[in-house]
Amino acid sequence: MISGIYSLEELQQTIATYPENWRPLVLTNGCFDLLHVGHLRYLQVAKALGRSLVVGLNSDRTVRQLKQHRSGEPPRPIVPEMQRAELLCGLKPVDAAIVFDTLTAVSLIEALKPDIYAKGGDYTIETLPEAPAVTAGGCRLELVKVEIPTSTSAIINKILNFRSIESVNNY
């Protein structure tokens, strides 16, 4: 096992055994494909909300569903789930990563009972599918707004445009 990557059962047991190391627990989730500085800034702010930060990582299957193939773009994810998890665990703010295979993080919220659930500032309480589970679970919702100078899609488009320019110049 790579340090910091847990199964749901392992993480539940660890939190229950050592709550003083984990509470208040912040949970966030996402695809985190092609990590960039925007991801790092977001995770730093999320970590500062509590003692520990657990990142729920969408499985490859769910990323394919969430980021359905767009014309001209490669299918997502670019980076396989276990490599994404390992990269996340290498970041200072991240205490644990857990790969989950559902389109929303409702099951993680219900199972881990975080103190704080953090999502990006591009969401609202009305657009967040996990909002009812957050409310029912008694945890606090934090919409984290950070300056993000790039996005995974922008990086992919830049690479694709560079490749197109290069191929034209080579002929």
Token readout for 11 is 């993480």
Burial (CB count within 10 angstroms: exposed 0-12, middle 13-18, buried 19+), residue 6: buried
What per-residue confidence (pLDDT) applies to 163?
59
Domain ranges, ordered by start, for the chain = 8-169
Q: Which residues of the chain have pLDDT under 50?
A: 167-171
What CATH number does domain 8-169 carry, 3.30.70.20, 3.40.50.620, 3.40.50.300, 3.30.70.270? 3.40.50.620
What per-residue confidence (pLDDT) applies to 62?
95
pLDDT digits (tens, 9 = 90+) for 1-48: 578 999 999 999 999 999 999 999 999 999 999 899 999 999 999 999
Amino acid at 141: L
Strands, E assignment, the chain = 25-30, 52-58, 96-100, 116-120, 140-144
Cβ pair 49, 95 in contact under 8 A: no
Long-range contacts for 161-164 (Cβ within 8 Å, ≥24 apart)?
none
Closest-CA residue to 114 (of 103, 98, 127): 98
Preceding omega of 24 cis (within 30 degrees of 0): yes
